[in-house]
Homo-oligomer: A and B are copies of this chain.
Amino acid sequence: MSTPVGRLYLVPAPLDFGCAHQSPLEESMPLQTLRIAASLQHWVCENAKSTRAYLKRVGEVVPLHTPIQAQTLQELPREVHKKGDHQGGFDARPLLAAAMQGHAMGLVSEAGMPAVADPGASVVRAAHQLGLHVVPLVGPASLLLALAASGLNGQNFAFVGYVPSDPTERAQSVKSLEALALKTQQTQLFIETPYRNQALLATLLQTLQPSTRLATSSGLTLSDGVNLSADVKTWRQRGWVLNNATPTVFAIGP
């Protein structure tokens, strides 16, 4: 008798993690995603506490099949959180034991798509290795929302993660990203810890050429979200500032 093939659902989380105002989940998540999230009882997550808070919100829209306290939430170890876990150093297969018994499992991160600018790739790799079905679910994807709102080249783009926090290294990094974007027409997207938004913006406005286009998307999916896009010369003239508390995606290009 063969065991049915298990599934790993990649479950997106809303982008309002840690924000003061949260909007109803059904505004930014398709019903199908919420229905599937509500049906699961085995999870691999970045943080169990915030996953429980998310599941509580899911349950307010679609009743949970299993009470939260009866669900299994396995956290990814801390060492895979920061640098990414796609390199095969961490064997995530033991986390997928329930799926190997035929259960559907969910992978979830703090905000947005798991394994995109977030940990989880090791779990997805392990699922493929074990022959599980991997099914990504639709939800808010901050990088693509920001790219669309930028008006920059959406036919060729790159996301390069966090820029360095050291001011000198940050300026160098920004300069080389600009050179690449201008040479190849490839939009360069990057992020920074929110409390350094304004510092990063200052570096960008000092470092970039006046004709380079700079776009920022802050508070995506929130009612007070702001998407700005203009050449650097216009940015300087307008004196636009960023909020140091709101997650922001930055993009530059010709």
Contacts and interface: CB of A to CB of B under 8 A. Distances in A.
Interface of A: 10, 26-32, 83-84, 86-87, 113-118, 120-122, 124-125, 127-129, 133-136, 138-141, 143-161, 185-186, 217, 220-221, 225, 227-230, 253-254
A116 B148 CA distance: 6
Contact of A158 (B134, B139, B157): B157
Contact of A152 (B29, B121, B139, B150): B121
16 contacts: A27-B30, A28-B30, A28-B32, A29-B30, A87-B153, A115-B154, A116-B154, A117-B154, A118-B154, A125-B151, A134-B149, A134-B227, A135-B227, A138-B221, A141-B141, A156-B158
Most buried by B among A10, A30, A148, A227: A148
A86 B151 contact: yes
A84 B139 contact: no
Nearest to A123: B151
Given A156-B161, A158-B157, A227-B135, A149 B124 contact: yes
A245 to B, nearest CB: 20
Contact of A148 (B29, B136, B159, B230): B136
A interface secondary structure, majority? mixed
B31 A115 contact: no
A227 B148 CA distance: 25
B153 A121 contact: yes
A155 B190 CA distance: 10
Given A138-B140, A144-B143, A158-B157, A151 B121 contact: yes
A159 B160 contact: no
A140 to B, nearest CB: 5
